Amino acid sequence: MGETQVLRGGCQCGAVRYSARVEGNEAYYCHCRMCQRALGNLFAAFVSVGRRDVRWERGGPAYYKSSEIARRGFCRECGTPLTFEYLDEQEKMDLTVGSLDEPGRMRPAEHFGLESIVEPFFTDDGLPRERTEDDEEFVARWRAAHGPGPAPGSSAGPSST
């Protein structure tokens, strides 16, 4: 927790700009395979914000439905990944820390998607780590949309959704 601050950010080409009010400065890493694919990187860094606290000041994201439970916003002109949003979540959404004008104002608090951490590129910083399959809220959401099979993060689960 902490003070409310206003974050500003946008995509690489400038077609999409946003502002967002957030409580505190906590962000998280996600190392899951879906985020690796979506960002073309070895992990994602996200800050969770209230949907109603985000204003699209210029343009707005295009969306890719990355599974039955989530969509990912990006700039249709330059491709910058901007958001992660659960389809059934009315309150919260995530913004990519890298799209912020001042990403250094955020502090990482947790590693998610532990099962897919790319070890040679990962330095243990002592922060808590959680596997995707151990996130009960995520697994419940996934099962409700995709059925009873294995969820992402389990050894038999899908690796690219």
**Binding residues vs Zn ion (CB under 5 A):** 11, 13, 15, 30, 32, 35, 75, 77-78, 113
Nearer to Zn ion, 5 or 160 (CB): 160
Nearer to Zn ion, 2 or 78 (CB): 78
DSSP the chain: ---EEEEEEE-SSSS-EEEEEEESSEEEEE--HHHHHHHTSS-EEEEEEEGGGEEEEES--EEEE-SSSEEEEE-TTT--EEEEEETT-SSEEEEEGGGBS-GGG-EEEEEE-GGG--GGG----S--EE-GGG-HHHHHHHHHHH-SSPPTTSTTS-S--
Nearer to Zn ion, 42 or 50 (CB): 42
Minimum distance of Zn ion from residue 5's CB (angstroms)? 24
Minimum distance of Zn ion from residue 4's CB (angstroms)? 26
Minimum distance of Zn ion from residue 120's CB (angstroms)? 19
